[in-house]
Amino acid sequence: MAKMQVRRVGIFSYAKISAVITSAFGLIFGVIYGLIVIIFGAAMLAGGGRDTGAAGAGGIVVGLLIMIGFPIFYGILGFIFGALWALVYNVASGFVGGIELELEPVADGYAAPPSPQWGAQQSQPGQQQQYPY
């Protein structure tokens, strides 16, 4: 087993990954909260009454906006805080060292692909092929 240490983290790289992950959570939470708001908005529409129609339709629109807005909002915050986290990690790892990882090969059965076998009719890279006429 080889011990390795993560000494630095790419700030922009980590921020992008963090944004994608938090956007996924934002999508999940946005759908849940959006559906709750839509259900209450539809209940207000079905409830009748003179002033509940506009409020019910507004609830449906707000629910749809939540479903769209949460992933975007979470993604932006994930990018910002991911970049800050990577920056703080890089500074801290300069003082106390990075995170240590123990790595080992994934599987013994894996081997690199064989090198190409050049036949008599194939040309080597950089050579021109001669065609008999």
pLDDT band (50, 70, 90) for residue 79: very high
CA pair distance 104, 106, nearest whole angstrom: 6
Do 74 and 26 form a contact (C-beta atoms < 8 A)? Answer: yes
Mean pLDDT value of segment 123-128: 61
Position with higher pLDDT, 52 vs 24: 24
Residue 121: pLDDT over 90: no
Q: What are 103's strand-pairing partners?
A: 2
Do 126 and 27 form a contact (C-beta atoms < 8 A)? Answer: no
Do 21 and 74 form a contact (C-beta atoms < 8 A)? Answer: no
Digit-coded pLDDT (tens) for 45-77: 766 655 555 556 777 888 899 999 999 999 999
pLDDT band (50, 70, 90) for residue 127: low
pLDDT band (50, 70, 90) for residue 35: very high
Helix (H) or strand (E) holding 118: none
Digit-coded pLDDT (tens) for 95-115: 998 899 898 877 666 667 777
Burial 16-49 (b: 16+ CB within 10 A, else e): eebbeebbeebbeebeeebeebbebbeebbeeee
Do 77 and 58 form a contact (C-beta atoms < 8 A)? Answer: no
Q: What's the pLDDT score for residue 105? A: 76
pLDDT band (50, 70, 90) for residue 88: very high
The full set of domain ranges for the chain reads 10-103
